[in-house]
Every structure is written in structure tokens, then in C-alpha cells.
Structure 1
Amino acid sequence: MSGSNFVDYVKIFCRSGAGGNGSTHLHRDKLTMKGGPDGGDGGRGGHIIIRANSQLWTLIHLKFSRHIFAGDAGSGSQSRSTGYDGEDEVIEVPLGTVARDAETGEVIFDVTDDGETKILVQGGRGGQGNWHFRSSTNQTPRYAQTGGERVERAVILELKVLADVGLVGFPSVGKSTLLSVVSAAKPKIAEYHFTTLVPNLGIVAYRDDRSFIMADIPGIIEGAHEGRGLGLRFLRHIERNPVLLFMVAADSDDIHKEYQVLLNELKQFNPELLDKQRLLAITKSDMLDEELITEIKQDLPEIPYVFISSIAQKGLAELKDMIWKAINE
């Protein structure tokens, strides 16, 4: 997914369809001058429906279609005939999309399984015809129920990337390079900050035809939870990853401190992120000799770690083993 085509946040205005009115018809034919009530029910107004589609990776198709209206229903008629239902509007979204009320920020629901459908805005109910209101004391009711009104709602759709492991690290630490080496993904790579402007996904092949999905999240900087750098825009993508792989470069001044800064940014954004499995990869370690590696090990966080070099293809098998074990725990 290219930077120009990746959209993970849209605000849309939705309006469901109005329900049809019930009919007040009284039965008449050439043999019946004063028949009883036979008015049918009105149809149901069209719903606005969200459907998850595993073939979609972005919300760009909604960027310029932000007003979505469902169809109105038809009224009931004679012979207890029910009016037609309003046409539903189905919005296709990527897996991992969250729907929020635009006014309150409340989460309405999310969709994570291919083909999963949920009603975003309910259509108006159909009104009951006068046939329903007959009684022993009122055998010819000349009234019926009106259809339910349209429902209008402003909704925010947010995409949170679904992956087994998310890469967390400062800019230019080697996240995109790692993804390009262990998968077929081709993220943009360059020696300057914020090369990665959108999340990139790659399928990483493992032993015995097994695989897992890795997500390269745009680089975090200190203060990201306050919106600095790329800030809040991409921190939410980490919420969907059960395993977080922290990446710190071997030439960092203080690997442990850098890890703590990253951890703090996640904590400030969402404390629940600290409950996820955490792993550590020390990147660019081809520049280290055994003596330096031994020295660095003395001050590493107490989580599983591995020294890797994507360019030199060093430690990648051990990294995959560590990730696979964490995913299955």
C-alpha cells in the first residue's frame, strides 16, 4: 500500500431509510360493500451495514463518498400486502476497522473477521396496517401506524492494522529493512527519519509451511502520545498486535533507556499495551564483536531478546523462532 493510497481514518455521514406507513384500507369488492380492515404493513427502511472484506487494506474508497443514504420503504396496501423494504447500503471495510460515534467518541463496534456484517444505522421500522388494530369493539379501524423515521448519524471509521507482531522503534532503526528481508513486502527504505509514513504488512514464512503477519509501524519519537512526530495517527495500529517487537539499534547510546522511552510512549497512549507480549531485537549488530555483545547483554531489559542484522542476514532464524514462540504463548 503506497503512502498516497493509504487512508486509515474517515468521517462519514449516514442516513438510514424511513419505514413505510401502514395502510388504512377497508376491504371492498363487487360482492362486499363494507368489508373489514385489510390494510397491510409498511416495509422496513434500509439499513446502513458495515461488512468486513479481507481484500481491502485501506479506507480510501470512502474518502470521497462520505454521505451514505439507504433507501426508504414502501407503504402497505390492500389485501394485507406489505410494502417493499428500503434498499440497504453496505459499506465494505478492511478487517480491523472500528466504528465510533463522531459526537461522543463511543465505540459502536469493530469488525475483525472476513465477511462479518454489522448494522451501523438501523432503518425505520414498518408501520402496522389497520388489520392489526381490529377488535370486538372496533371492527373497522380507520387508522394505521406510521413508519419509523430515518436515523441520521455521523460516524468515524478507524482502521487498526491486524497483524501477529508489530514492530516498535524509533525512526531509521531498521524496521522497514527487516520487513523487506523476511517477507515479500517492499516498504520504502532510506537513511532519513519518517521514511515509513503508513503501516506496511508482510507475511513471514516460517518452518513447515507456517507463517505469521508482521506490521511495520511508522517510527515513534518521544512525545508521540501527545501527537508529536506522526504521533497518535499510527500508535493505534499497535493495539491490534498481540506481540510487540521492540527494535533498538546496536549503536544506540543506551539501549535500555531507549527501550524504556518507547515503552513509556505506549503506556501513555494506552496502558493496556503493556499487557502484550514484548520482545527485543538489537539491530545493526553486524558492527559488534563478541566482547561488545557480552557487554551489552549486561544491561538489557528482562524480556526475550536477539541480536540481528537484516543486511548481513544475522540472527533472523533465531528472531523468527522467538516471535513464533511468543505468538503461540
Structure 2
Amino acid sequence: MTRHLVLLGGGHANLHVLESLADSPLPDVRVTLVSPYRLQIYSGMLAGWIAGHYPLAACAIALDRLAAAAHAEFLCIRACEIETASRCIRLADNWTIDYDLLSIDIGSDVSIDRLQYASDRVAPVRPLQRFAERYRQYTVNGKNEPIAIVGGGMAGIEIACALRVASGYRADVTLLAGRDGIVPTQNSTLKTRLKNALKARGVMIVDEDACGVDGMRVETSSGQHLAAALVVLATGPQAPSLLRGSGLPLDEAGYLTVDASLRSTGSTAVFAAGDCARFPDDGVVRSGVYAVRQGAILAHNLRAVLMGGSVQDFHPQRRALYLIATGSRHAVATWGPWSWEGEWVWWWKRHIDRRFVCRFRRY
């Protein structure tokens, strides 16, 4: 009897599953990949694309080609609802797809709880495909007009520096880091390196929250109004709305709870990885660094369930390496309490990023 494995989302972990299936297909298993986007843009190279270091095509993985190599059907369509009880997924245009085993890797949404807006000038950084479209529109209609980035995390810092480089240092770029300042959970040495990099690129740092967007202005928590032709939301993750109403156990923030094997705590037929999942170890942050490492475990465990083998547990590393691009051929590295910076770090990051993308473009 043929069983149906559905991969929902083209995130880092599901890419590894497709790679595993391309190298070693499963007998009597039908595979379907569902994603609303044909190209998966690699988040680690987004700032490099903005800064002009790469064309967008060099940052993207063609999901349809990878699916074909994995002998999987690719459905380029949006998922609307997961119905766990009946083991089906409702798709746009009134389509429905059934599954015997489901792997969810849909990432997270951008947190907008504190920011009310209704403007086509606002560009959340996720999904990356939509952000790329919005940024392209800005470059056509208002290049070198002022820009505000909301969010003082690593993503916001990367994008702020990249935007200054992209404009030839002509566009005013403001980083609204929030009341806790940039990277509030990181050590003081890293904060200093990143703050110095922002100032060296001419990025204005405002340690306030953004409260709303009105036309060409952003209002801050103190009542300031900052000019902005484009407002980039890099405000951190929030749980994807698709998980609500699925019948799967979620944590208090709405993320899907999984055990150490990446299996849902409420269904033996559902696995999840990446930013959409909550793991037993709360130290696993929502980062592509961990999602990539989950990929091999996810691929093994899906194969084990389908073929009658034993599942493995995911053991996150205690420390993760982060490489943060800070403009034109400069980057900052951090690993635990240590950090480094310079052009050599940028080349190191470039090598790792290009190797990752090329890995899934070889089919």
C-alpha cells in the first residue's frame, strides 16, 4: 500500500528531507511538497542581495527542481488549514490534500502585535519572497528616500547596514531598536561591535518602539515622527497563524510543540522543525542555524517511520555560530562569549552561505 508523505513548507529542514529523498528514494511512498513560493530565498543572503553583493537568483533555491529530483510532486499553492483529525490540509482554491505522514517547516511570521499599520510602504522581512517584491518596488519608486527599520535584532542590523550600502550612503536609514536597544540578550562586546558598525555606516539608532505608520512617517513611543518612504519590519518572530485550529498541541505563544525526535506531542503522524516548532529544550532559539541541523534528524526520522526503523533525537549544540553582515565586505562573528569582525569574516560568511545554497541547487 502506497503511503503519502506531505512536506508542508520549503524551510531549511524540509530541504534536507528532499535532498535525502533525491539521493535515496523511498519505495511505496508518494511525496508531495506544498509551498506558496516556487523559489525559496535563503535568509542568510538577503542582506547581501540588498547590498548588491549577489543577484537574487544566487540567493534562491528552486523548490520545483529539488522536488522533481526527490521524485516529489510540487504544489505551488498556499495552505489554509491543517485538519489533524482527518489527516488533511485545506489549500487555496478549495483544494484538499490527504497525508499519512506530515512534516511541517513553514517558518514563523513577523511579530506586529505592538505596531498598527495600514500602508503599502510597510515591508515585513518575512516571507522573504514578499519582502523582496516590496523592496524592489521601493527601489523603482523612491530610491534613496528615507527608510526606517523596526527591530534591533541581528536581522534588523544586517538590513540597516545593507540599505545604506545599496543607496551609496545617500538614503537616511533609521534603526528603531526598541527600548532595550540593539541585540538586548547578547553580551556587551558584541553589542559594542554592532553599534560601532551601525554608526560607521551612518545608521541612526533610536532606542524606542515604533507605534504606527502614517503615510510617509513612523510614530515612536515618545511621540516622534520619523520620515520613511519604506518601513522594514524586523521585529522578531511570532507563531504562524496556520497552526491555529489545527488540533495539534501548541505552546502559550502558538508554536507547535514537539518532542526530542521532532514529532508533534499530539500526533504520531506529524513532525515539525524550524521556527514554527517549540522544542523540549527552551534554549533552541528560532534561527536557521538550528533549523539546518534539525534537517538530518528530520530526514532520518521520517524515513524511519515509513520504513519501520528507530527514530533519533535532536541534540542542539550548546553554542551556535552567528555571522552578521554589516555592510560592504565587512561582517561580525559571534560564538558564545567571543566575537570577531573584519573583511575576513565577511568572506567566511560568503563561503558558508554560497555553499549552503549550492548544496540544494546541484540537482
TM-score of the alignment, normalized to the shorter chain, above 0.5: no
Is the helix fraction higher in 1 or 2? 2
What TM-score does the superposition give when structure 1 sets the normalisation length?
0.25
Report 1 or 2 for greater relative contact order, CA contacts < 8 Å, sequence distance ≥ 6.
2
